[in-house]
Amino acid sequence: MRLSIFSCFIDNKSNPIVMYFFGFILLSGLSTHSLAAKCLYVSSYHKGYEWNDGIERGLESVLKSKCEIDKFYMDTKRNQDEEYGKKQGLAAKDYILATNPDIVIAADDNASRYLVMPHFRNSSIPFIFCGVNWTIDEYGYPYTNTTGMIEVAPIAQTLKTIKDVHKTPLQGVYLSSDVFTEHKDFERYRSLFAKQSVELSGVFVTTMKDWKDFYVKAQEEDFIILGNNAGINDWERKEVIEHVMNTSNTFSITNYEWMIPYAMFAITKQAEEQGEWAGQVALAILDRLAISNIPVVVNRKTNTYVNPTLSKAAGILIPADLFHKAVKIGQ
């Protein structure tokens, strides 16, 4: 792992990961370049996918008026075939070579899998990755031309919350869309929960009907973790809200902000954090800070929410300390 001029944290509970550097704030004061700089944002997914829209908002809040921002959407959430991903990676590569950006921000796993790793490993173009789930080992990061932010979910905090509500949970279900990153997330949840003698099974679906059917079956469990619904292309918000209101009798929790209407509690990551960090790093690199001096970091900001309408309908009591600290949302 790189060493840098920035102070940092080290996570000693798993493989060493360089955490947030204390000198992050210095990046915002380094910008002296002109607007002529060209920044390209490559999204693994599509415009309108809430997580990537949040990353984009964070990125624009930093780069606006400081860099010309171009965008390329690979759309691999709605189109999950590997050959499609490879095709989009090639299209993004051709776009980069044609437009010659000064720096590229690559959001989420598939941009790394299909674009950066096969086509721009150790190239002369600097790349900042973000939203890569849990580990960068499968992509061989960091390259000489990369740095980035790894995305991790607040699993330990989620399990603690489940235990605060249920007291002695023994088994639960992770219900999600059938997409690569959700399988990747589930394995992390399953492993950590098992270490605390809590069994977690995974259910991955592609249709709203299957999601609703398995949600009903999951009421027999001690708890339900709601993963991402992106990838379930026939999802209807009002229909699912009505379904969970009528069938819920066990505690449900999510780590996705847009899944709050269907869950009783949420501990969410902040997509904007990924974009803001990538934007600050882009400015630093454009101002000639060597990319090798900027460590790979992990996200650390979270928000908590409670859905009192759903928990009340299900007869689930949320402990007072959790309830009062969380933002209250309606459906």
Tell me whether residue 228 is in a domain.
yes
Q: If 0-12 CB within 10 Å is exposed, 13-18 middle and 19+ buried, where does residue 50 land?
A: middle
Tell me whether residue 10 is in a domain.
no
Tell me whether residue 109 is in a domain.
yes
> From the CA atom positions of the chain, what is the Rg in Å?
20
Is the same domain home to 243 and 126?
A: no
Is the same domain home to 57 and 195?
A: no
Is residue 155 within 8 A of residue 163, CB to CB? The reply is no
Residue 6: the pLDDT is: 35
What band does 180 get if pLDDT is binned at 50, 70 and 90? confident
Find, among 209, 169, 204, 210, the residue nearest to 185 by Cα: 204
Give yes or no for residue 18 having a pLDDT over 80.
no
Percent with pLDDT over 70 in the chain: 89
Task: Compare 277 and 10 and report the one with higher pLDDT.
Answer: 277
30: tokens are 């380094």
Is the same domain home to 45 and 101?
A: yes
Give yes or no for residue 26 having a pLDDT over 60.
no
Peptide bond preceding 154: is omega within 30 degrees of 0, i.e. cis? no
Is the same domain home to 159 and 228?
A: yes
Is the same domain home to 49 and 86?
A: yes
Is the same domain home to 313 and 275?
A: no
Task: Compare 21 and 129 and report the one with higher pLDDT.
Answer: 129
Is residue 315 within 8 A of residue 164, CB to CB? The reply is no
Residue 250: the pLDDT is: 97
Tell me whether residue 3 is in a domain.
no
The mean pLDDT value for 20-38 works out to 50
Span 273-297, pLDDT tens digits: 999 999 999 999 999 999 999 999 9
Tell me whether residue 205 is in a domain.
yes
Residue 32: the pLDDT is: 45
Tell me whether residue 116 is in a domain.
yes
Is the same domain home to 144 and 189?
A: no
What band does 35 get if pLDDT is binned at 50, 70 and 90? low
CA distance 30 to 8: 19
Tell me whether residue 8 is in a domain.
no
Is the same domain home to 290 and 145?
A: yes
Q: Residue 250 belongs to what domain range?
A: 155-268+303-328
What phi, psi does 310 have (nearest 5°)? -75, -40
Is residue 196 within 8 A of residue 170, CB to CB? The reply is no
Averaged pLDDT score across all residues of the chain: 89
Residue 11: the pLDDT is: 38
Phi-psi region of 197 (alpha: psi -120 to 50; beta: other; left: phi over 0): left
Is the same domain home to 30 and 102?
A: yes
Span 191-234, pLDDT tens digits: 999 999 999 999 999 999 999 999 999 999 999 999 999 889 99
Give yes or no for residue 28 having a pLDDT over 50.
no
Instruction: Report the number of distinct structural domains present in the chain.
Output: 2
CATH of the domain at 178: 3.40.50.2300
| Beta bridge partner(s), residue 149 | 130, 297
Residue 77: the pLDDT is: 87
Residue 8: the pLDDT is: 37
Residue 243: the pLDDT is: 98
**Per residue in 216-234, is it b (16+ CB within 10 Å) or e — as a string?**
eebeebbbbbbbbbbbbee
Other CB atoms closer than 10 Å to residue 327's CB: what's the count?
11
